[in-house]
């Protein structure tokens, strides 16, 4: 095991651009080097990648990093390769674009132990050839980046993440490091359970970014939204049209079409804007991304496809043109702003009717009941062990669904005990009617969770109290102050009060006195109908609990206490 006493020296020698460890980095690094499983929740811009980069440099074997986006993968490869000429030869990335002789050569080098770092996607870790190569080499650390993707509570759920525990077993079950910037308590539990972590060390550092100013603008006339957006950009960045000025802006949009139309609208209003989304050709996406990073392009209108792993320190404004589908997503995307620790603005343009877009997208993401029935019927005919790829291919062809949808159904059925797994493949077990009823119930629960997350975004936008405290409570962090003086609500309240009211001890005392009932943020509770949950926030007599089964519920604390509706766990 590396000498933990010399970590500061190792950091200075290998990563001189980092003068010291940031909060949480050293704690996570020491646990990983001691062979422990770790869930590290560090804020956006908090240096998550340094943990596995330095660990991988100190450990003798290969560090495998599962990452969700190709752009993020190639960015990490580029950065590690720039550290030294030695790293350039010992860092590799295997994606779906690596095929034929090139793939065979890389797998041969992997088996020979020639890579210190291997970056790949969760989908690639499903492939037998890569698993076999990993089994033949010495893997000392398995890092799951953006680990919130493993959870249905997470805002970017991908079925392949659910297979990462098996991938870890295939590579000899090295210590697992799960990294994310946004993981409330329910997501952390999901990550630990799905990755099958052993007594994991939890490293969670405060999410507060004190340089970010939070605000909400209510959109009353949707036809004038783009004019309001342009006016807001000019207000926040008055020199945005000056190529020599410092600071750029990101405008987040819900759909690809919205990102394109918003960029055109801003261009027509004299603003230097472009668009970015996952439906663009890769070469064009890279061109736009490069233009934004070099500031030839000053405003980027983008979907959630942009941002993960992008380190642009001087984004002075992140504006959401329409409401996001969760506060996790909002905080993750807003956190792109101000990574240089200078004051920056995060503004949500809010209109209640915008949630209809997300409700439509959620419906489209789930197969219809007849489609599920057809797939379950087809699976019911698989009474002999059959290779999973063959089962997926038949479901895709006969039921007319995307492979990802069929894979998600298989994953759900396996979790509920309707799929038996053998070395030679899988087969269905149980009664198709019971399976159909179980899946329908599961989907209904998912709908409740999705709706509750939209409710929380709406509640945040309509709240008249401190937005910083609201967000931090939601994320499982506590904010003791009453007035942060860095959000629009607090600044409005402060104007009506004397400066004596700003004193921190008095604020904390008022917040404590205002708490409803005996509850505390982060406390685990149980409801007789909704099961286990975690207290997310307390505002006066309202307590908000995030239940695993039904999502968020706002409850009147005195009534809860009177009726004994919540039991502390």
Give the whole-angstrom CA distance, residue 344 versus residue 249. 10
pLDDT band at 74 (very low <50, low <70, confident <90, very high): low
Closest CA to 65 of 146, 138, 9: 146
Better-scored residue on pLDDT, 68 or 300: 300
DSSP 3-state of 153: coil
CB 276 within 8 A of CB 217: no
Closest CA to 466 of 216, 236, 232: 216
**pLDDT at residue 85 above 60?**
no
173: left (phi over 0), alpha (psi -120 to 50) or beta: left
Q: What is the tally of helices (H) and strands (E) in the chain?
A: 22, 20
Q: Two tokens at 258? A: 């919205």
Q: Which of 137-151, 362-376, 515-529, 542-556 shows the highest mean pLDDT?
A: 137-151
pLDDT at 489 (0 to 100): 95
**pLDDT at residue 21 above 90?**
no
Residues 174-186 have pLDDT tens digits of 999 999 877 677 7
* Residue 63, C-beta contacts closer than 8 angstroms, at least 6 positions apart: 52, 55, 56, 116, 117, 118, 139, 140, 141, 142, 143
Residues 276-321 have pLDDT tens digits of 998 888 789 888 988 898 898 999 999 988 876 567 889 999 999 9
Q: Residue 44 CB: number of other CB atoms within 10 A? A: 21
Domains of the chain: 4-204 (3.40.50.300), 212-353 (3.40.50.300), 366-443 (1.10.10), 513-569 (2.40.10.170)
Give the whole-angstrom CA distance, residue 116 versus residue 567. 49
Residues 405-462 have pLDDT tens digits of 788 788 788 888 898 888 888 889 989 999 999 988 888 888 888 899 999 999 999 9
- What is the DSSP track for 498-538? -GGGG-HHHHHHHHHHT--TT--TT-EEEETTTEEEEEEEE
Residues 474-503 have pLDDT tens digits of 877 777 777 888 999 999 988 887 655 656
């Amino acid at each position: 095991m590396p000498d933990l006493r010399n970590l500061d020296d190792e950091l200075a020698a290998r990563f001189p651009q980092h003068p010291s460890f940031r909060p949480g980095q050293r704690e996570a690094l020491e646990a990983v080097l001691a062979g422990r499983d770790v869930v590290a929740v560090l804020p956006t811009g908090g240096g998550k990648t340094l943990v596995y980069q330095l660990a991988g440099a100190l450990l003798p074997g290969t560090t495998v990093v599962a990452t969700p986006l190709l752009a993020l993968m190639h960015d990490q490869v580029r950065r590690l390769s720039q550290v030294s000429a030695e790293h350039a030869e010992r860092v590799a990335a295997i994606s779906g674009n690596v095929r034929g002789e090139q793939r065979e050569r890389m797998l041969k080098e992997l088996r020979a132990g020639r890579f210190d770092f291997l970056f790949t996607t969760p989908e690639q870790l499903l492939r037998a050839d890569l698993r076999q190569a990993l089994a033949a080499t010495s893997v000392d650390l398995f890092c799951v980046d953006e680990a919130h993707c493993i959870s249905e509570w997470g805002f970017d759920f991908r079925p392949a993440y659910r297979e990462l525990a098996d991938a870890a077993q295939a590579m000899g079950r090295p210590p697992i490091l799960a990294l994310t910037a946004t993981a409330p308590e329910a997501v952390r539990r999901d990550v630990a359970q799905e990755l099958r972590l052993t007594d994991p060390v939890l490293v969670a550092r405060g999410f507060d970014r004190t340089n970010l100013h939070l605000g909400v603008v209510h959109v009353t006339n949707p036809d004038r939204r783009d004019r309001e957006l342009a006016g807001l950009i000019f207000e926040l960045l008055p020199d945005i049209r000056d190529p020599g000025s410092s600071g750029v802006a990101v405008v987040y949009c819900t759909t690809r079409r919205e990102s394109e139309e918003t960029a055109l609208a801003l261009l027509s209003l004299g603003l230097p804007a472009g668009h970015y989304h996952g439906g663009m050709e890769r070469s064009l996406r890279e061109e736009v991304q490069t233009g934004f990073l070099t500031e030839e392009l000053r405003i980027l209108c983008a979907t959630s496809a942009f941002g993960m792993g992008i380190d642009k320190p001087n984004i002075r404004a992140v504006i959401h043109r329409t409401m996001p589908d969760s506060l996790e997503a909002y905080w993750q995307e807003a956190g792109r702003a101000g990574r240089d620790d200078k004051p920056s603005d995060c503004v949500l343009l809010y209109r209640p009717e915008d949630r209809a877009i997300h409700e439509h997208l959620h419906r489209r993401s789930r197969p219809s009941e007849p489609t599920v029935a057809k797939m379950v019927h087809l699976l019911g005919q698989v009474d002999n062990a059959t290779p999973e790829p063959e089962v997926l291919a038949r479901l895709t062809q006969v039921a007319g669904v995307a492979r990802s949808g069929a894979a998600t159904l298989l994953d759900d059925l396996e979790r509920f005990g309707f799929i038996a797994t053998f070395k030679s493949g899988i087969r269905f077990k149980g009664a198709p009617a019971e399976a159909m009823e179980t899946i329908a119930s599961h989907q209904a629960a998912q709908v409740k969770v999705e709706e509750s997350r939209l409710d929380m975004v709406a509640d945040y936008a309509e709240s008249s109290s401190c937005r910083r405290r609201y967000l931090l409570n939601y994320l499982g962090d506590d904010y003791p102050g009453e007035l942060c003086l860095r959000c629009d609500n607090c600044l409005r309240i402060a104007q009506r009060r004397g400066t004596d009211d700003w004193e921190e001890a008095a604020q904390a005392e008022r917040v404590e006195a205002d708490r409803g009932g005996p509850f505390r943020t982060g406390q685990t509770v149980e409801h007789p109908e909704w099961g286990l949950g975690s207290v997310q926030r307390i505002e006066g007599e309202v307590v908000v609990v995030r239940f695993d089964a039904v999502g968020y519920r706002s409850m009147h604390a005195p009534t809860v206490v009177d009726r004994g509706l919540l039991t502390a766990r």
